[in-house]
Amino acid sequence: MSNIKKFFTRKKEEAAFKLKIGGTLGQGHALNAPSEPSGSQRKSNHKAYEPPKRKELSNEARAAAAAALARIETKDTRKFNTSLAAIKAQAKRELEAERKVREDRKADENTSETETRPDVTLACQGVFFRCPMISDEVLPKKDWKVKIKEFLYQQLESERALTSCLIIQNCNTKEKAEECVKTLIKYLENIINHPEEEKYLKIRMSNRIFSEKVRYVEGALDFLIAAGFHEIEIDNESFLIWSKDNIEEGQDLPTLLDALKNAGPITLELERNIKVLLPSQAKRVKLPDDFYRMSPEEIKREQQIRTEALENAQVLKTKAMREREEQRVLRMYRYALVRVKFPNGIYIQGTFNVYEKISDIFEMVQSCLSDETLEFNLISSSDGRLSDDDMEKSLYDLRLIPNVVLLFSIPDQVNTNYIDTNFLKEELLLLVQSL
């Protein structure tokens, strides 16, 4: 079974589980029902996605090159202006163009070096994710967006119907995708409920709703083609006409309607990005921009506003005012950096979503221990030992963001007894050398 079909099968199972809680399951055509492969499957006219090209020369450099080429081609037929002023002006223009080209090239090289050189002052180099549906790679979210789009367009020709549902959800803004899906669902429901009414079997492509909510949404036209629509001209006007014979092989309208409703964004799994730190390395607490909900410019502006407010109003704050200020600060962060210090001075570090639970931290620590059955406690310097009652609370709830250090301890034992004990797996200790 392909990854696309596995995605929809899993989604359908999740939806079925929720329905079982409230009542019986409705009738429907299984998305993973076996179908005969088609040898004469219609080819897609959709242009394959092309990754962005490298930065080209600036307009000024292009103009200078074009001018030089024109001079070479016409030097035998054009009368050259031999006046001293004209020669000086021409030389100045050419030197200016060459200087501009050198500056642009140097700027490109500097940008490339800056992008590839890690910032050693950061506690970690960013927030990374996995996407099991596509590959085992660990990449930043912005890189996954490109890879997901490339992957989906590669699958489009072989599984147009199901893949186009995912393209709608993953290659457009959330608002555009939601409006498009609502409209497409209406089109299909009208045909299913009124198969004999001609008005539901065609769509005028100049229609305002179609133009605004469907036509320019990535994946929408591919879905309609897979659902049985094809474009024709009637009285010099473009229409999409539906025919049962044009539905993609192995699909039917109830199945496609189900796919539209179950499709969603391809989820990414947050990579813990576990690091093992020496005490000297644990002093780095500067977080990369990926940890923030806002851009660096917005964060600086927010801090400036807060500083000016404090300077202009040196007044005592009530408890409610302090809580509101704290909530405002906490909402700036999307991820948290959690460090756990062991009695021998070694730290382990992992990345968490601010809404993940305390139990997730315990699971990470346990997975790093050479003895995974060992009982242990984690102690917060501000609130003391994290108890069983805290396990279902989030890092946000306990204010353990944007970064926190927790102390590893053994129940009913003094940590000084373990000052020379290594609790971590040997393979993890090798990570110290890579920092």
- For residue range 333-389, what is the model confidence (pLDDT) as tens digits? 889 999 999 998 899 999 999 999 999 999 999 999 999 999 999 998 777 889 899
pLDDT tier at 52, thresholds 50, 70, 90: very low
Structure token pair of residue 194: 């009124």
Residue 149 and residue 158 in contact, taking contact as beta carbons nearer than 8 Å = no
Residues of the chain above pLDDT 70, percent: 68
Pick from 6, 369, 35, 270: nearest CA to 163: 6
Across the range 104-125, mean pLDDT stands at 67
CB 189 within 8 A of CB 205: no
Please compute the mean of the pLDDT values over residues 138-166 and round it to a whole number.
92
Q: What is the mean pLDDT of residues 163-191?
A: 95
- Which comes out higher in pLDDT, residue 381 or 18? 381
pLDDT tier for residue 131 given thresholds of 50, 70 and 90: very high
Say which CATH topology domain 128-269 has: Methane Monooxygenase Hydroxylase; Chain G, domain 1 (1.20.58)
Average the pLDDT over 137-154 and give the result.
93
Domain ranges of the chain: 128-269, 279-284+304-431
Q: What is the mean pLDDT of residues 45-63?
A: 51
Q: Between 108 and 24, where is the model more confident?
A: 108
- Please tell me the distance from the alpha carbon of residue 279 to that of residue 347, in angstroms, as a whole number: 7
Q: Which pLDDT band holds residue 81 (cuts at 50, 70, 90)?
A: very low
| Residue corresponding to tokens 């644990």 | 282
Identify the weakest region by mean pLDDT among 71-75, 277-281, 291-295.
71-75
Task: Say which range, 56-60, 120-124, 147-151, 380-384, has the weakest mean pLDDT.
Answer: 56-60
Ramachandran category for residue 411: left, alpha or beta (phi over 0 → left; psi -120 to 50 → alpha)? beta
Percent of the chain with pLDDT over 90: 43
CA 58, CA 1: separation in Å to the nearest integer? 48
Cα maximum dimension of the chain: 98
Map residue 139 onto helix, strand or coil: strand
| Per-residue pLDDT band at 254 (split at 50, 70, 90) | very high
Confidence category of residue 53, pLDDT binned at 50, 70, 90: very low
Distance between CA atoms of 225 and 242, rounded to whole angstroms? 9
Q: What pLDDT, on the 0 to 100 scale, is given for residue 353?
A: 92
Phi/psi at 283 (nearest 5 deg)? -75, -20
Alpha helices by DSSP H, 37-159? 59-74, 84-116, 141-155
- CA end-to-end span of the chain, whole Å? 41
Q: Would you state the pLDDT for residue 218?
A: 95
φ, ψ for residue 190, nearest 5 deg: -65, -40
* Confidence band of 284 (pLDDT split at 50, 70, 90): confident
pLDDT at position 390, please? Answer: 92
The pLDDT of residue 257 is above 90: yes
Average pLDDT over residues 284-290: 78
**Mean model confidence pLDDT for the chain:** 78
- The Cα 189–Cα 385 span in angstroms is 56
Lowest mean pLDDT among 178-187, 203-212, 309-318: 309-318
Q: Is the pLDDT of residue 262 over 50?
A: yes
Question: Is the pLDDT higher at 118 or at 160?
Answer: 160
| pLDDT at residue 62 is higher than 80 | no
Query: Which of 313, 300, 400 minimizes the C-alpha distance to 355?
Result: 400
Residue 372: C-alpha distances to residues 173, 365, 366, 367 (Å): 43, 9, 5, 6
More confident residue, 124 or 210: 210
Average pLDDT for 49-70:
57
Kindly indicate the confidence band of residue 117, based on its pLDDT and cuts at 50, 70 and 90. Answer: low
Neighbouring C-alpha atoms within 13 Å toward the C-beta of 246: 16
pLDDT at position 26 over 60: no
Q: Which helix (H) or strand (E) holds 204?
A: strand 202-204
Work out the pLDDT band at 47, boundaries 50, 70, 90: very low
In the 8-state DSSP scheme, what is residue 228?
T
Residue 226's pLDDT is 94
What is the band of 99 on the pLDDT scale with cuts at 50, 70, 90? confident
In this structure, the strands spanning 335-341 and 403-409 are parallel
Distance separating alpha carbons of residues 344 and 412, to the nearest angstrom:
18
- With b meaning 16 or more CB within 10 Å and e meaning fewer, what string describes 161-175? bbbbbbbbbbbbeee
Per-residue pLDDT tens digits for 220-253: 999 999 999 999 998 889 999 999 999 999 899 9
Of 29-38, 374-383, 402-411, 425-434, give the lowest mean pLDDT range. 29-38
Residue corresponding to tokens 């290659």? 171
Show the tokens assigned to 264. 């969603």
Q: Is the pLDDT of residue 401 over 60?
A: yes
CATH number of 279-284+304-431: 3.10.20.90
